[in-house]
Amino acid sequence: MKGQLSYIIKPLSLVMTIVLLLILYNSIQSFGNRERQAQQGLDLVADATNILLVLANSEDCLAYRSTVTEGLYANIVDITKLNYFAAKYANYEPECARSLDFGWRVTVIEFKRSSGATVEGSKWSFGASQFSRDAAFRNSLDFSIPIAVRYSDKLTRTGTLQVHLVDGELEKISGMLDWYCEMFKTNRLSKGSFQIMTSYPLSYNAAQGQLCSMSKENSCRKMSCAMDFEKIKSAGQYNLKLSYVDGVMVVNS
Amino acid sequence: MIDNINNRRSRKKAVVFETMSFLILSIAIIGVIIMLRVYLVGGAGRSFGLVVERHVEEGVYAGANSVLYATEERSGKTMLELIGIAAYVGNDTVDFGPVVGKINVQKELEWRFDKIYGKGKWYLHVPQPDIQPEIQIVFVVDTSTSLCDDVEEMAKNLPFLIEDLRQTRKVTATIYLLLGGANCCKLGTHEDLGPIACSRFPEKEYLHCVGLTASVCPGFGSGGQRDEDWGNGIACAAKGGPKEGWEDFSIKVGIPLSDELPQGSECLGGNTCCADSPSSYAAQHIALQNGINASLKNNLIVFPMRANPCGTVCSLYAGGQTIERYTDLQCNCGNLLTQYMNEIADATGGKMFNLKNPTDVVNAVKDVITSVTPKRKPELVAGTQPPVRVDIRTVTTPVPVSLAGVYTTAYIYQWS
């Protein structure tokens, strides 16, 4: 009887060991996924903060520079620049704070006092007007930072700068293409390639200079370079090959 | 038999070892899973928390800047400047005069921080430096004969008084002498004591004397009796300010010194006293009203001093004529003068002084200084006291108190 016990325990141990190893494998996979998700969320939050700070504090973006002291004031934005950005960048992100990983749109709201109550005053908005949709959309985040909108020496109003940041396939692909564009323009690269994953067909609208993801509704993003883009007709993984010919970025899949 | 026993023992040992091995393997795998959970996922979570906290901290700094550099729309001053001015005057409310009005700095900070940080999520305090705001005094002095003794006393003691007051605070005085300037003489001996003129007051950095002529005060001096017109005189002084000009947020004090109504107590040009009603002295009341209006417009607090009107005076006139006379008119018309002086004092937040002797001027000026010295708040406070056991983020910002040439610090606390 005791000898028979060994014959039961051996296979049982083997099965249990296999089960435990499966649990371990599954856990490693699951933790890996969670870590990747956390990392993506982390990148999104870090980028949101960086974009807001750059917009509010960089002279190339909205920051006010005093003509008297020649100094910049932290988080004080210039009304002239704000009006200019709202007019010029109504549909795409300004170069001064463009992210190569995410798409964003910001809204500036000022506050004022009216009849004893705090009310919203003027609003300005600029940045990308379309983002990845449906299956191409991964994550989004809304963050804000207080600013002051400076009209003149005698008038500066408190307000907020709010950013809507989107993580999606179209944003990643266009970000990579823009990065290569910059490398080509500055002669730091002559050709390159990278892999993409797309859930929808992709095409380039040369007239508008926009790369479009064709889900139920088209989502388009303005590109930094003019492109000769070979249309991607279906979802899937592609290896894009890039070169730069006569000021045009040639993209083949 | 022995072999059988040994075999059984060996198998038993093997079973124990197998079971132990399985247990050790299980514990190791569970340990690995726990470690992965703690270090991998926990680490990512901690990193996420750190990045979010960085955003929150940047938001708190940005919020402080956006509020402190925002302007208050009536005054055009930034909140930082307003805090500095509030620290100078030692009060949450700053008076910018009749055009802009009073601004409550605490309330201006509150609605902005409430909007940026959220109501009940912030607290600010600014310790007020120990500053005594500058006091600027303008005297408007009646130069008729009955003021000879009062002016003499003033000339003798005022420089010492101001010098003494300046040991603890910045005080300046400008004496405006009304047009005229009676030539005073000593009762009985008729010794020439000289005219009531600025030559009696030595010019000092903090004490000036100016004759209130038409060049100093355009329009003043034409028509009517001007040596006693302290109503229009105080209006001129309020508009023009002291010799150095009105300083921002100084305490502005006007002291008319006279024993008659503005433009004199003579009724209808006669040497009699009219009824105790302003309507019987219409021109005089208009002069008073001019003084009140100009004082209110320039934030001048008026402390009228009525010199003792009853007594004998001595004056020298051209050609060597000397007159000694009892000031019966001034003595008899006292009720209406008191009424007029109280009227301007009440309207401007001052107080009337009834001087019994010429020597009372010095004590009266001391009383004025005491009464206008504001009670200072030790600190400017706004928002809600921070609760205990919460994470508090702090921003400290230097606040220039430019009027005093010093700095204080704004402490801003924010919590979620």
* Shortest distance, CA B142 to any CA of chain A (angstroms): 44
Amino acid B28: pLDDT: 85
For residue B249, pLDDT over 70 is answered with yes
Q: E strands along B218-269, which residues?
A: 251-258, 266-267
For residue A170, pLDDT over 90 is answered with yes
Write the DSSP symbol of residue B59.
H
Percentage of chain B modeled with pLDDT above 90? 41
Q: What residues does each domain of chain B span?
A: 1-130+379-416, 135-372
Cβ atoms < 10 Å from Cβ of B319 = 5
* Shortest distance, CA A39 to any CA of chain B (angstroms): 7
Amino acid B272: pLDDT: 72
Contact A38 B71 (CB under 8 A): no
A178 and A125 co-located in one domain: no
In a domain, A40, yes or no: no
Would you call B52 an interface residue with chain A, using a CB distance cutoff of 8 Å?
yes
The total of structural domains in chain A comes to 2
Interface test with A, best of B19, B25, B53, B66 (most A CBs within 10 A): B66
Would you call A207 an interface residue with chain B, using a CB distance cutoff of 8 Å?
no
Contact B22 A146 (CB under 8 A): no
Between A223 and B7, the higher pLDDT residue: A223
Between B270 and B401, the higher pLDDT residue: B401
Amino acid A199: pLDDT: 95
Average pLDDT over residues B77-86: 95
**Quick one: three-class SS letters along A54-91?**
HHHHCCCCCEEECCCCCCEEEEEEEHHHHHHHHHHCCC
Amino acid B222: pLDDT: 57
Reported confidence tier of residue B224, pLDDT bands at 50, 70, 90 = low
* Shortest distance, CA B50 to any CA of chain A (angstroms): 9
For residue B57, pLDDT over 80 is answered with yes
From the list A77, A49, A59, A82, the residue with the least C-alpha distance to A162 is: A49
Chain-centre distance for alpha carbon A192: 22
Contacts of B69 in chain A (CB under 8 A): 73, 76, 148, 150, 156
Which of A113, A137, A167 is where one domain is finished?
A167
Amino acid A27: pLDDT: 82
Amino acid B223: pLDDT: 57
Amino acid B228: pLDDT: 82
Q: What average pLDDT does chain A have?
A: 90
Rounded CA separation B263/A172 (Å): 87
A181 and A240 co-located in one domain: yes
B13 Cβ partners below 8 Å, 6+ apart? none
Amino acid A5: pLDDT: 58
Contact B14 A157 (CB under 8 A): no
Contact A34 B70 (CB under 8 A): no
Indicate left, alpha or beta for B269 from its phi (over 0: left) and psi (-120 to 50: alpha). left
Q: Which of B152-156, B292-296, B317-321 is predicted least confidently?
A: B317-321
For residue B4, pLDDT over 90 is answered with no
Rounded CA separation A114/B130 (Å): 36
Exposure of A115 in the CB half-sphere (CA atoms within 13 A)? 2
Indicate left, alpha or beta for A4 from its phi (over 0: left) and psi (-120 to 50: alpha). alpha
Which of A113, A145, A167 is where one domain is finished?
A167
* Shortest distance, CA A138 to any CA of chain B (angstroms): 18
Average pLDDT over residues A35-50: 84
Between B314 and A63, the higher pLDDT residue: A63
In a domain, A26, yes or no: no
Amino acid B269: pLDDT: 64
* Shortest distance, CA B197 to any CA of chain A (angstroms): 46
A162 and A187 co-located in one domain: no
Q: Beta partners for A146?
A: A160
A88 and A154 co-located in one domain: yes
In a domain, A141, yes or no: yes
Amino acid B320: pLDDT: 67
Rounded CA separation B334/B165 (Å): 32
Task: Name, of A79-83, B18-22, B24-28, B35-39, the range with top average pLDDT.
Answer: A79-83
* Shortest distance, CA A214 to any CA of chain B (angstroms): 33
Rounded CA separation A103/A92 (Å): 9
A137 and A222 co-located in one domain: no
Which residue among B14, B32, B71 places its CB closest to the CB of A155? Answer: B71
A112 and A197 co-located in one domain: no
Amino acid B213: pLDDT: 81
Please give the residue of chain B at the shortest CA–CA distance from A120. Answer: B115
Rounded CA separation B398/A124 (Å): 32
Interface test with B, best of A141, A144, A145 (most B CBs within 10 A): A145
Residues 98-137 of B with CB under 8 A from A: 111-112, 114-116
Please give the residue of chain A at the shortest CA–CA distance from B41. Answer: A35
Tell me the residue range of the domain where A203 lies.
170-252
A159 and A64 co-located in one domain: yes
Spatial contact of B181 and B144, defined as CB atoms under 8 Å apart? no
Rounded CA separation A61/A147 (Å): 13
A163 and A174 co-located in one domain: no
Phi, psi torsion values for A206, nearest 5 degrees: -65, -35
For residue B357, pLDDT over 90 is answered with no
A63 and A154 co-located in one domain: yes
Q: Give ipTM to 2 decimals.
A: 0.81
Amino acid A6: pLDDT: 62
Rounded CA separation B41/B38 (Å): 6
For residue B69, pLDDT over 60 is answered with yes
In a domain, A104, yes or no: yes
Q: Which of A18-32, A188-202, B44-58, B311-325 is predicted least confidently?
A: B311-325
Contact A10 B45 (CB under 8 A): no
The CA–CA distances, whole Å, from B77 to A96, A151, B60, B142 equal 31, 13, 22, 41
Rounded CA separation B243/A58 (Å): 48
In a domain, A99, yes or no: yes
Q: Beta partners for B406?
A: B401
Q: In which element (H, E) is residue B172 found?
A: strand B171-177
Cβ atoms < 10 Å from Cβ of B396 = 11
**Quick one: three-class SS letters along B40-54?**
HHHHHHHHHHHHHHH
For residue A1, pLDDT over 60 is answered with no
Reported confidence tier of residue B268, pLDDT bands at 50, 70, 90 = low
Please give the residue of chain A at the shortest CA–CA distance from B20. Answer: A13
Amino acid A243: pLDDT: 94
Q: Which of A28-42, A187-201, B140-154, B277-291 is predicted least confidently?
A: A28-42
Between A41 and B150, the higher pLDDT residue: B150
* Shortest distance, CA A68 to any CA of chain B (angstroms): 16
A95 and A185 co-located in one domain: no
B135-372: CATH number: 3.40.50.410
In a domain, A157, yes or no: yes
For residue B277, pLDDT over 80 is answered with no
The CA–CA distances, whole Å, from B164 to A124, B167, B169, B172 equal 60, 6, 9, 11
Reported confidence tier of residue A4, pLDDT bands at 50, 70, 90 = low
Which of A137, A167, A197 is where one domain is finished?
A167
A205 and A118 co-located in one domain: no
For residue B356, pLDDT over 90 is answered with no
Would you call B29 an interface residue with chain A, using a CB distance cutoff of 8 Å?
yes
For residue A114, pLDDT over 60 is answered with yes
Amino acid A241: pLDDT: 95
Contact B41 A34 (CB under 8 A): yes
Residues 63-82 of B with CB under 8 A from A: 63, 65-67, 69-71, 73, 76, 78
Rounded CA separation B57/A220 (Å): 35
Reported confidence tier of residue B275, pLDDT bands at 50, 70, 90 = confident
Amino acid B352: pLDDT: 95
In a domain, A28, yes or no: no
Percentage of chain A modeled with pLDDT above 90? 72
Spatial contact of B325 and B311, defined as CB atoms under 8 Å apart? no
A157 and A70 co-located in one domain: yes
For residue B291, pLDDT over 90 is answered with yes
Q: Per-residue pLDDT tens for A207-234?
A: 999 999 998 888 999 999 999 999 999 9
Exposure of B252 in the CB half-sphere (CA atoms within 13 A)? 25
Cβ atoms < 10 Å from Cβ of B157 = 16
Q: Which of A52-56, B47-51, B270-274, B282-286 is predicted least confidently?
A: B270-274
Contact B48 A45 (CB under 8 A): yes
Amino acid A215: pLDDT: 86
Reported confidence tier of residue B389, pLDDT bands at 50, 70, 90 = confident
Contacts of A73 in chain B (CB under 8 A): 65, 69
